């Protein structure tokens, strides 16, 4: 199969001059890391003050738990800048962890009780309290164990240099440039959804879990070694429905056909009460249990492996930012922590995502029907649970097709964007990456998930000792680096600035918390 371009004019553009417009792609990473004690339990300590305020630090914050760190690299157009930044942030953080570690995998291990998982604390401002109450609600809705799973998000945006000539190829296109960009970004998202199964197929890195994570709940997982459960051909249990205590979101319909419809669907969800969430209660004895009893407390609760994004202003909800100013970038949320990298993601993975996302832009992207949406979700779920099965078949137009055939066709089409990126950046790394990863098609056990199962099996000790050994290895790696990171002084200054910024926000609060929440949702 060849790339299906939307028009002959666009085909000529991609085949002739497109490479000169590609430099300037902006990239960034958001990477979660669970802070643990030396014996592998989730840390009970407060966020290290030397890392600044979790409310206002633009590089280092927390996600669900006080122990679940989140590292955010600034957007940059350099090919390796995101990984370089992530290295510097890790090195800086390790200087202030004492005897604690950063867990080297997505799935946590020695869990204890749900009440042992501390919620993230963001101070006493209204905005800080709202973030904590939201997380309290997530715990009641889905269980705290599920919220301690870590992942990597990749943010990408194409430069206006590519959007302008593409728009000029459509004479009937009379919208402004931002509306055109938003429309095309939604097309990229739809194409990503169609082929998103390739991410866990190649990079799924959570095929096995500690038995402690199940906390006695039944599962269909087999025993790999005592204390370790796994799916025989699983790639990414993190991306499965393993462990969720309710399934309300499975009934949620959020269209990616049009940005306006996407926004409307999310708005409807954050304003529609759900009976199960109502039974949890919003307040109990004057203490908030969740922000509200609606299908979604806020937009960010919507779980998706890709999102359209726009940086929000202070007090502005994400959907309002999208509605006012359109899509700014795309957030890919399907990556597990890569345990073979000290920072949890490799440069090779980012090269592949660049190729994949450019392909999603180049390929014509029709609207997704309900049938096709169900098909794409089914394919993703199949690969998550059975992706390394050499006999696995996925669905295409209601027909079962071997995953090997589909993967080979996809990789054949990836050659064109890989060559374009090589030419744009005067390199060969993209084509080399594609050639290396193509080996997984013939040998699924050479994937990340396959390697993890092989190493855990060979050790005979189980997933917990395996992950703990890696965590100690990476701590030693960063602590033994004999050079100061290039961004250390900047990270120190941001930590100090963020603390003062949090104090200013707390000082300037004038509304009660109830008034603040009501205004936010108005």
pLDDT digits (tens, 9 = 90+) for 72-101: 999 999 999 999 999 999 999 999 999 999
Confidence band of 215 (pLDDT split at 50, 70, 90) = confident
Of 44, 327, 58, 3, whose CA–CA distance to 195 is shortest?
3
Q: Is the pLDDT of residue 387 over 70?
A: yes
Residue 167 has a pLDDT of 93
Confidence band of 245 (pLDDT split at 50, 70, 90) = low
Residue 243 has a pLDDT of 55
- Exposure of 5 in the CB half-sphere (CA atoms within 13 A): 13
Share of the chain above pLDDT 90, in %: 89
Task: Provide the b/e sequence for 425-459 (b: ≥16 CB within 10 Å).
Answer: beeebbbebbeebbebbeebebbbbbebbeebeee
Q: Which residue has the higher pLDDT, 484 or 34?
A: 34
Q: Is the pLDDT of residue 374 over 90?
A: yes
Is residue 126 within 8 Å of residue 509, measured between CB atoms?
Answer: yes
For 446-501, what is the HEC assignment?
HCHHHHHHHHHHHHCCCHHHHHHHHHHHHHHHHHCCCCCCCCHHHHHHHHHHHHHH
Q: Is the pLDDT of residue 241 over 60?
A: yes
Q: Which residue has the higher pLDDT, 315 or 323?
A: 323
Other CB atoms within a 10 A radius of the CB of residue 423 amount to: 15
Q: Is the pLDDT of residue 170 over 80?
A: yes
Q: Are strands 101-102 and 26-36 parallel, antiparallel or unpaired?
A: antiparallel
Q: Is the pLDDT of residue 330 over 70?
A: yes
CA distances (Å), origin 369, targets 253, 256, 366: 12, 10, 9
Residue 244 has a pLDDT of 58
In CATH, 24-386+455-521 is 3.30.590.20: yes
Quote the mean pLDDT of the chain.
95
Stretch 34-38: mean pLDDT, rounded? 96
This prediction's pTM = 0.96
Q: Which residue has the higher pLDDT, 373 or 482?
A: 373
Cα separation, 11 vs 423, whole angstroms: 17
Residue 294 has a pLDDT of 96
Confidence band of 300 (pLDDT split at 50, 70, 90) = very high
Confidence band of 486 (pLDDT split at 50, 70, 90) = confident
Stretch 113-129: mean pLDDT, rounded? 95
Q: Is the pLDDT of residue 282 over 70?
A: yes
For 92-152, what is the HEC assignment?
HHHCCCCCCEECCCCCCCCCCCHHHCCECCCCCCHHHHHHHHHHHHHHHHHCCHHHHCCEE
Of 201, 172, 192, whose CA–CA distance to 359 is shortest?
192
């Amino acid at each position: 199969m060849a790339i299906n371009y939307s028009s002959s004019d666009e085909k000529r553009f991609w085949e002739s001059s497109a490479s000169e417009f590609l430099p300037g792609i902006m990239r960034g990473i958001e990477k979660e890391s669970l802070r643990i004690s030396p014996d592998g339990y989730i840390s009970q300590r407060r966020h290290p003050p030397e890392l600044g305020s979790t409310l206002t630090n633009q590089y280092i914050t927390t996600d669900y738990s006080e122990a679940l760190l989140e590292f955010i690299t600034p957007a940059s157009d350099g090919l390796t800048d995101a990984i370089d930044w992530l290295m510097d942030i890790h090195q800086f953080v390790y200087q202030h962890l004492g005897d604690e570690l950063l867990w080297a995998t997505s799935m946590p291990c020695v869990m204890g009780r749900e009440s042992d998982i501390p919620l993230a604390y963001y101070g006493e401002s209204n905005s800080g309290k709202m973030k904590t109450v939201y997380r309290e609600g997530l715990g009641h809705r889905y269980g705290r164990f599920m919220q301690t799973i870590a992942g990597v998000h990749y943010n990408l945006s194409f430069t206006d240099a590519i959007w302008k000539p593409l728009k000029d190829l459509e004479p009937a296109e009379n919208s402004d440039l931002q509306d055109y960009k938003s429309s095309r970004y939604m097309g990229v998202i739809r194409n990503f959804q169609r082929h998103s199964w390739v991410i866990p197929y190649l990079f799924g890195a959570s095929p096995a879990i500690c038995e402690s994570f199940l906390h006695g709940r039944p599962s269909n997982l087999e025993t790999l070694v005592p204390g370790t459960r796994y799916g025989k051909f699983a790639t990414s249990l993190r991306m499965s429905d393993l462990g969720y205590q309710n399934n309300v979101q499975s009934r949620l319909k959020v269209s990616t056909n049009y940005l306006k419809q996407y926004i409307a669907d999310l708005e409807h969800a954050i304003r529609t009460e759900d009976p199960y969430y109502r039974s949890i209660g919003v307040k109990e004895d004057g203490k908030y249990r969740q922000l509200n009893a609606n299908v979604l407390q806020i937009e960010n609760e919507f779980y998706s492996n890709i999102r359209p994004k726009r940086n929000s202003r202070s007090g502005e909800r994400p959907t309002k930012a999208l509605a006012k100013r359109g899509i700014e970038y795309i957030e890919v949320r399907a990556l597990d922590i890569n345990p073979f990298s000290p920072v949890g993601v490799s440069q090779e993975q980012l090269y592949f995502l660049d190729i994949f996302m450019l392909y999603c832009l180049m390929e014509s992207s029709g609207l997704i029907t309900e049938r096709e949406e169900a098909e794409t979700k089914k394919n993703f779920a199949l690969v998550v649970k059975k992706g390394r099965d050499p006999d696995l078949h996925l669905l295409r137009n209601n027909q079962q097709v071997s995953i090997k055939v589909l993967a080979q066709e996809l990789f054949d089409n990836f050659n064109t964007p890989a060559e374009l990126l090589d030419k744009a950046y005067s390199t060969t790394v993209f084509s080399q990456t594609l050639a290396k990863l193509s080996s997984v098609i013939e040998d699924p056990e050479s994937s990340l998930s396959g390697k993890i199962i092989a190493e855990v099996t060979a050790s005979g000790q189980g997933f917990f000792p395996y992950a703990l050994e890696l965590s100690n290895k990476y701590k030693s790696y960063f602590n033994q680096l004999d050079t100061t990171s290039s961004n250390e002084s900047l990270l120190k200054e941001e930590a100090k600035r963020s603390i003062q910024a949090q104090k200013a926000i707390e000082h300037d609060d004038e509304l009660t918390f109830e008034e603040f929440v009501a205004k936010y949702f108005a």
